[in-house]
Structure 1
Amino acid sequence: MDASLFKDRDIFQKCLENIQKEVSRSKEDFLQEHFSKYDDPSLPPVWKTMEVVSFGMLSKLYCNFSDVDVKKAVAHSFGLPQYLYLETWTKCIAVLRNLCAHHDRIWNKRFPWKPQLPKRLPLAWIDTRSLRPIKLYAQLCCLAYLEQSIHPKSDFKEKVIALLYDKSQTITKAMGFPANWQEEPLWKE
């Protein structure tokens, strides 16, 4: 990895150290095979390395990348018109993922990161006017949007709807869900 591609060299160095730890402790067969054949460079090619890197680390790398045109291209590939949306969304999703992985409470949590929420997007989206971005609903909307851009036939949205089907509006409101949220284009399509 080339440090000159990143804005903050200190952040890059910490990321690189963490990536090297993640790769060295991985028991993945493809990495074991790689290291049985090669010992230079110290990291496998990026397409192998990224298989074992955490989502949080990917978020940090993306946010620290210095080439704005590349960041824009990545964001556009997910149907996002600005790279800043993807930066904030990946930070939020990394936090949500970690909370879930550690069985933390998320249902009425105030999240530390607020995703930037555009008014319009190329794919099905939501009305953001009365949305509370620090609540779970905003995080799930970002996740659902990215999921539909990656895998349009995913059943993620159906599973969220089914999970919340019989919950009272008091509970869904505590999670930041507006009334009739299932009628939003993002959740209907």
Structure 2
Amino acid sequence: MKALEIVRNACAHHGRLFNRVYTKTPKLPALGRFPDLDNAGLSMNRTFGQLTLIQHMRESQGIRRSRLLPSVLKTYPVLKALPISHVGVPDDWEASSLWAV
């Protein structure tokens, strides 16, 4: 929860999420328990990994997934100088059931 608190504080205080590497990362359950969190391209020390964990937690608690987060990521402009991969987004992120709109 401490790792997600850092993300929350960055959002609440208009901090930067782009190209950020978090020193505190969440401890995840054993591989195979939650396949959506096992994605090889998923890095929990980047913003996208933290957002994926939020999506997973919402779903596991019976709260519907946020449609806003995928919508925001889809509006990210395609720029060679500032690729979305700097947020930690893997190429196949839309294929994950957590990110389906």
- Measure the CA separation in 2 of the matches of 1:132 and 1:93: 14
Higher relative contact order (CA 8 A, sep 6+): 2
| Map of 2:31 onto structure 1 | 119
> What TM-score results when the alignment is normalised by the length of structure 2?
0.78
- Displacement, 1:143? 0.8
Q: Deviations over 1:105-146 (max 9, x none)?
A: 012111121223443335x62443232221001101111111
| Map of 1:56 onto structure 2 | none
| Map of 1:162 onto structure 2 | 71
| Map of 1:49 onto structure 2 | none
> What TM-score results when the alignment is normalised by the length of structure 1?
0.45
- Measure the CA separation in 1 of the matches of 2:45 and 2:2: 12
Give the share of equivalent positions with the same residue, in percent.
23
Larger radius of gyration: 1
Runs of at least 5 residues in structure 1 that lack an aligned partner in the other structure? 1-89
| Map of 2:85 onto structure 1 | 173
Tell me which of 54, 58, 69 is aligned to 1:147. 58
- 1:165 maps to a residue whose letter is K
Answer yes or no: is 1:96 the counterpart of 2:7: yes
User: Which one has a larger percent helix, Structure 1 or Structure 2?
Assistant: 1
- 1:166 maps to a residue whose letter is T
Q: Closer, same or farther in 2 for the Cα pair 1:99/1:166, shift >3 Å?
A: closer
- Measure the CA separation in 2 of the matches of 1:177 and 1:138: 8
Query: Would you say how many aligned residue pairs link Structure 1 and Structure 2?
Result: 97
